Amino acid sequence: MSDTLVAVPPAGWSIAESPFHAGELAAQERVGVRERMDVNARRGIRDYVPEQHRIFFAEQPFMVLGGVDTAGQPWATLRIGEPGFVSTPDEHTLRIAGRSLNGDPLAGTWKVGSLLGGLGIQPATRRRNRVNGVVTAIDEHAITVAVSQSYGNCAKYIQSRTPSPMDFDTQARDDEAPVISDHLSDADRQLISSADTFFIASADTSEDAGYGRGADVSHRGGKPGFIRIDDNRTLTTPDFSGNLFFNTIGNLLRDPRAGLLVIDFVSGDLLYLAVDAEVIWEGKELESFDGAERLIRWRVREVRRTRRALPLRWSDVQYAPQLVKTGSWTKTPSAWRKLKVSEVREEAPGIKSFYFEPADDMPLPPYEPGQFLPIRLDIPGHAGPVTRTYTLSDAYDARRYRITVKREGVASTWLHEHIEAGAFLEAKAPSGAFVLDRTNIRPIVFVSAGIGITPMIAMLKSIVGDPNERSGLEHIYFIHGARDVNEHPFADELHAATKASPRVSVHLRESRAVNASTAGRVDIAYLRSVLPFGDYDFYLCGPAAFMRDLYSGLRALNVADDRIRFEAFGPASVKRDKGLINLMPIVPERLAKVVFKRSQKTVQWSPEDGSLLELAEANGVEVASNCRSGVCGTCSTRIISGDITYPVPCEGEAEAGMALLCSAIPAKAGKGEESTVEIDA
């Protein structure tokens, strides 16, 4: 449990038998608190609802419920209504009116005799109170519950956020069916990885459970990342010091089935998970979560996601103060981690895929399709490690990463010639801003050339591998150009994608093709020949000239700038139309003078020029670069004089007196002054 008992009046559990069942007692015995809990629990647990809690329940616009369906599977869910929809006709009775939400897995299962766990929680004030009981009556308006246990919880680990007022009669959605799967989709993983709150339902329904028999629902909170994604069917969460009742863990020791509920407080999506739990009491793995006293591993059996089901909207979050002492629960991007090469595969002449697995048996951090992996190599003849970034060329798998590398340049050549299965190298967590936009369901057009196929194949496989996630998506066009038919990597995977989904169309071109049907380049004329008239989201990746021509051509066809997403390899080659979307964040209007010392060039900088790297390239100043995202450090350059700033904090590190030019801009000068930055380039 991550809850702690609040102070209560002396009146408590007056029954001779224990309020706990055998599982709860076993957990207490294991950690050496059974005798203490026999005293403390009798003071805190009641078989009635005290006046303070009765008032509290009536003030809330929602209540978290836990119960079991007809198969005995526990689920955590929500019920909403105007404050007052939860009432207590007397101290032994709870009446829950309001309504269930679309996709509620317990909506049709309540009946007389059902076990019910209730949690009233007020995130804005971090207050919460628990109540468990048995359903005694159901009518069209409410569920009536005979209370068996009631007690308060402390504010620990509750994130503060305030719901906006709403019209409960008109705002809930009930026109979308839940998306049901046996594994987590990319969108599910994205929600889970950013979640700071979830709820657990568990139960002991056995007849020998005594006064501890019942369903229970509990709150868990932490920093984003505290729900660790091990793979698309496995999660791990920490269990921190709490009230030592062990209601949840005790239930899991008797029946490992549980139901998790994760809420998207922005969109109103509800993610229900049916899981089997394993309690990890000790071992080195506990070190992966600072402050954890034990871990719980959740094996996912069923996933139900209902979009926009919760009509409440919330203020920005304020994290619980207890989280300051819990450290970081995710691998930081600056932390280098050893990976083992598990396989090397030739995809095409001069192109190899390198598969990595963790050397420490810990799961690999999740990433979005399109992001890259920073790696560093110890190459003889170089003073220090050589850092490069390579796009991850597959959908996320917690057990294996894949990068696909064309042999060109020092690092890529070293990989091709010296890295084999069994070798080790170091990598940071994946990063990068060129990712798949999951919010739109317009048809997608992936357009690539050469090694630019790598982010596109990752995006495609993330969609095709999880068709439920993008069920509303009309079509996916995958268009790739190479020099000849032998230089198309991933041909088998593309063929498999078209067989797996009728929504996928693959179009391959070769500039040196023998077959007339595939001969030619991928250009605007070709796009117009294969794309029906319509409204698309375009993703572009490839060599400089290819990128310039396609971007300019699409804009000339009045394709909106924000419908064109791209990533170029090498120096910046595409300039977005001014007045539209900038690659750099908007900063207050200002000018600066930038002096490139070695190149003997002095130029004016304004926010429209973007980063100092983009300014250098636009003026013919050569600067080494790679990730262009402030991660790899390749563009680190000495600042001779003047000050720079980073509109977006960098994940990479620059030594004193150096700057990561791909992310830096001139710092703002004093009022009425023009700043000057002198760069050793």
- Higher pLDDT, residue 5 or 260: 260
Whether residue 66 lies inside any domain: the answer is yes
Let me know: does 100 contact 309? Beta carbons within 8 Å.
no
DSSP characters over 209-244: GGGG-EEEEEEEE-STT-SEEEETTEEEEEE-S--S
Tell me, yes or no, whether 433 lies in a domain.
Answer: no
Quickly state the pLDDT bin for 238 (edges 50, 70, 90). very high
Helices (H), ranges, 244-361? 247-254
In a domain? residue 652: yes
Tell me: do 283 and 194 sit in the same domain: yes
Does 317 share its domain with 341?
no
Residues 112, 216 within the same domain: yes
Q: Which uninterrupted H or E stretch holds 373? A: strand 372-377
Strands 99-100 and 179-181, bridge-based pairing? unpaired
DSSP 162-222: -BPP--TTTS---SSPPEEESS--HHHHHHHHH-SEEEEEEEE--GGGGGG-EEEEEEEE-
Q: For the residues 249-270, what does the mean pLDDT come to?
A: 94
pLDDT band at 10 (very low <50, low <70, confident <90, very high): very low
Residues 207 and 287 in one domain: yes
User: Lowest-confidence range among 56-70, 411-425, 593-607?
Assistant: 593-607
Residues 608, 561 share a domain: no
Residue 405's domain is classified under what CATH number? Answer: 2.40.30.10
- Tokens 């920005």 appear where? 316
Residue 247 has pLDDT above 80, yes or no: yes
Residue 86, pLDDT above cutoff 90? yes
Q: Assess if residue 436 is contained within a domain.
A: no
Facing residues of 402 across strands? 355
Judgement on whether residues 343 and 281 belong to the same structural domain of the protein:
no
Bridge partner list, 10: none
Q: What is the pLDDT of residue 328?
A: 54
pLDDT at 550: 92
| CATH number for 545 | 3.40.50.80
Closest by CA position to 373, among listed 339, 409, 345: 339
Question: Going by DSSP bridges, is the β-strand pair 228-231/143-153 parallel, antiparallel, or unpaired?
Answer: unpaired
Are residues 579 and 561 in contact, defined by beta-carbon separation less than 8 angstroms? Answer: no
Whether the per-residue pLDDT at 118 is higher than 80: the answer is: yes
Q: How confident is the model at residue 244 (pLDDT cuts 50, 70, 90)?
A: confident
Q: Is 5 part of any domain?
A: no
Q: Give how many domains the chain has, as a whole number.
A: 4
Write out pLDDT tens, residues 43-58. 788 999 999 999 999 9
CATH of residue 105's domain is 2.30.110.10
Q: Find the mean pLDDT for residues 309-320.
A: 84
3-state secondary structure 489-558: CCHHHHHHHHHHCCCEEEEEEECCCCCCCCECCCCHHHHHHHCCCCCCEEEEEECHHHHHHHHHHHHHCC
β-sheet bridge partners, residue 305: 179, 271
Asked whether residue 7 is domain-assigned, the answer is no
Query: By the 8 A CB rule, do 518 and 510 touch?
Result: yes
67: its two tokens? 């119960």
> Which residue, of 427, 454, 483, is where some domain finishes?
427
More confident residue, 655 or 621: 621
- For residue 620, the domain's CATH number is 3.10.20.30
Residue 47 lies in a domain: yes
**Is residue 459 located within the same domain as residue 537?**
yes
Same domain, 448 and 487: yes
> At residue 465, does pLDDT exceed 80?
no
pLDDT of residue 267: 84
Same domain, 601 and 474: no
- For residue 521, give its domain range: 444-568
Residues 274 and 345 in one domain: no
Instruction: Please tell me the predicted confidence (pLDDT) of residue 169.
Output: 58
Question: What CA–CA distance (Å, rounded) separates 612 from 604?
Answer: 11
Helix (H, G, I), strand (E, B) or coil at 49: coil
Q: Is residue 172 assigned to a domain?
A: no
Instruction: Find the radius of gyration of the CA atoms of the chain.
Output: 29
637 vs 466, which has greater pLDDT?
Answer: 637
Average pLDDT, the chain: 85
Q: Which of 291, 326, 361 is the last residue of a domain?
A: 326
pLDDT score recorded for residue 332: 41
601-605 and 592-596: which strand pairing? antiparallel
Last residue of a domain, one of 393, 427, 461: 427
- What CA–CA distance (Å, rounded) separates 32 from 55? 36
Q: Is the pLDDT of residue 88 over 60?
A: yes
By percentage, how much of the chain surpasses pLDDT 70? Answer: 88
In this prediction, residue 166 carries a pLDDT of 67
Share of the chain above pLDDT 90, in %: 47
Is the domain of 504 the same as that of 596? no
Could you tell me if 146 and 97 lie in one domain?
A: yes
Q: Is the pLDDT of residue 170 over 70?
A: no
